[in-house]
């Protein structure tokens, strides 16, 4: 199987063309195999790129644990770059079909070099049903901003936003404590209030136009970046009155520029980088690689 390894701010995926490759029926098992950091290619998941009847291409995402993903901002930017570099598509913007609908991605140039990709991520979902989340005592019509979530007898304050996938944002004094991410992240991800689990962002506000963030991704664990998470963090910070509608989000893997426009859409710009290309054997692979990470 031919593949391309790409990353957006360190959030890395294995990209496979459905125009060129025939894949096994069990795609979740394949995602687990290629994503394994020691026995596979190593990635935060698998993204399939193929034909679409309504856009320039269709993107299908699978997390490192094999679970399907509805949206991936860093992945979208890389898909747009891949379509330009590998399929010769020169439309700008490019239209990419996702599980959430068609998204537009615009390549930004520095002379003859693509310096970044800007994606219109659409409007955030703020109602509890959009997340989805089930919390007693909350009005189902109102955004859940700085609300308590009980974890092992203690209340953790969260702000909940959907960017096509669920996000629980925790504002903290410092993002330096990795142990907080690794211990609290999985507890929030699998909290009973989230029937589909959730991504978790730990956000440190530096100024009204700048923040730092670490993320625990649903189905992948801690990653170097999360594009939809960065979008959700700016939306959540704006709702709490901590941020302006445009901010730089510094993640361990790089910086994303996010704007929640007055029209209601969220725009995200950042890098989309090819790391390497290769072949991955679909046969004669150690059976343990098909297991859960």
Tell me, yes or no, if 231 is annotated catalytic.
no
Catalytic hit among 72, 78, 175, 231: 72
How do 2-8 and 266-270 pair as beta strands? Answer: unpaired
CB 254 within 8 A of CB 9: yes
Domains 2-121+273-282 and 128-264 share a fold: yes
Residue 179: what pLDDT? Answer: 87
**Measured distance CA(57)–CA(254) in Å, rounded:** 27
Tell me, yes or no, if 226 is annotated catalytic.
yes
Over 70: is that where the pLDDT of 89 sits? yes
Q: Among 21, 18, 25, 19, which Cα is nearest to 1's?
A: 21
Q: How confident is the model at residue 174 (pLDDT cuts 50, 70, 90)?
A: very high
Residue 161: what pLDDT? Answer: 98
**Measured distance CA(187)–CA(179) in Å, rounded:** 13
128-264 classified as CATH 3.30.70.2740: no
**Measured distance CA(17)–CA(88) in Å, rounded:** 13
More confident call, 292 vs 55: 55
**Measured distance CA(231)–CA(62) in Å, rounded:** 20
**Measured distance CA(16)–CA(102) in Å, rounded:** 20
pLDDT digit string (tens) for 212-225? 999 999 999 999 99
Superfamily of domain 2-121+273-282: Diaminopimelate Epimerase; Chain A, domain 1 (3.10.310.10)
Residue 162: what pLDDT? Answer: 97
Over 50: is that where the pLDDT of 292 sits? no
**Measured distance CA(51)–CA(31) in Å, rounded:** 20
pLDDT digit string (tens) for 224-253? 999 999 999 999 999 999 999 999 999 999
Over 90: is that where the pLDDT of 5 sits? yes
pTM for the predicted model, two decimal places = 0.91
Determine the average pLDDT of the residues in 160-175: 96
The domain limits of the chain are 2-121+273-282, 128-264
Q: What is the mean pLDDT of the chain?
A: 93
Q: How confident is the model at residue 148 (pLDDT cuts 50, 70, 90)?
A: very high
Determine the average pLDDT of the residues in 112-125: 94
Portion of the chain with pLDDT greater than 70, in percent: 95
Q: How confident is the model at residue 284 (pLDDT cuts 50, 70, 90)?
A: low
Residue 137: what pLDDT? Answer: 59
pLDDT digit string (tens) for 28-61? 999 999 999 999 999 999 999 999 999 999 999 9
Residue 176: what pLDDT? Answer: 85
């Amino acid at each position: 199987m031919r593949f391309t390894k790409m990353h957006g701010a360190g959030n890395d995926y294995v990209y496979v063309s459905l125009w060129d490759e025939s894949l096994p029926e069990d795609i979740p098992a394949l995602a687990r195999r290629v994503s394994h950091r020691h026995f596979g290619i190593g990635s935060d998941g698998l993204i399939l790129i193929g034909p679409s009847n309504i856009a320039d291409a269709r993107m299908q995402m699978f997390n490192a644990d094999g679970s399907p993903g509805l949206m991936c901002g860093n992945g979208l930017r890389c898909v747009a770059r891949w379509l330009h570099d590998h399929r010769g598509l020169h439309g700008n913007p490019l239209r990419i079909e996702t599980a959430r609908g068609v998204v537009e991605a615009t390549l930004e140039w520095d002379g003859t070099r693509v310096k970044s990709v800007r994606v219109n991520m659409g409007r955030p979902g703020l109602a509890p049903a959009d997340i989805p989340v089930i919390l007693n005592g909350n009005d189902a019509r109102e955004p859940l901003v700085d609300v308590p979530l009980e974890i092992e007898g203690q209340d953790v304050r969260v702000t909940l936003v959907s960017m096509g996938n669920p996000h629980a944002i925790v504002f903290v004094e410092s993002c330096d404590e990795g142990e907080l991410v690794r211990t609290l992240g999985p507890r929030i991800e699998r909290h009973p209030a989230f029937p589909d689990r959730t991504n978790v962002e730990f956000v440190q506000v530096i100024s009204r136009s700048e923040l730092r963030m670490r993320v625990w991704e649903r189905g992948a664990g801690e990653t170097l970046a999360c594009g939809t998470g960065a979008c959700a963090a700016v939306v959540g910070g704006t709702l709490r009155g901590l941020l302006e509608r445009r901010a730089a989000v510094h993640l361990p893997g790089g910086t994303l520029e996010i704007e929640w426009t007055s029209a209601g859409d969220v725009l995200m710009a950042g890098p989309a980088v090819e790391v390497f290309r290769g072949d991955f054997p679909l046969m004669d692979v150690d059976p343990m690689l098909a297991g859960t990470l």
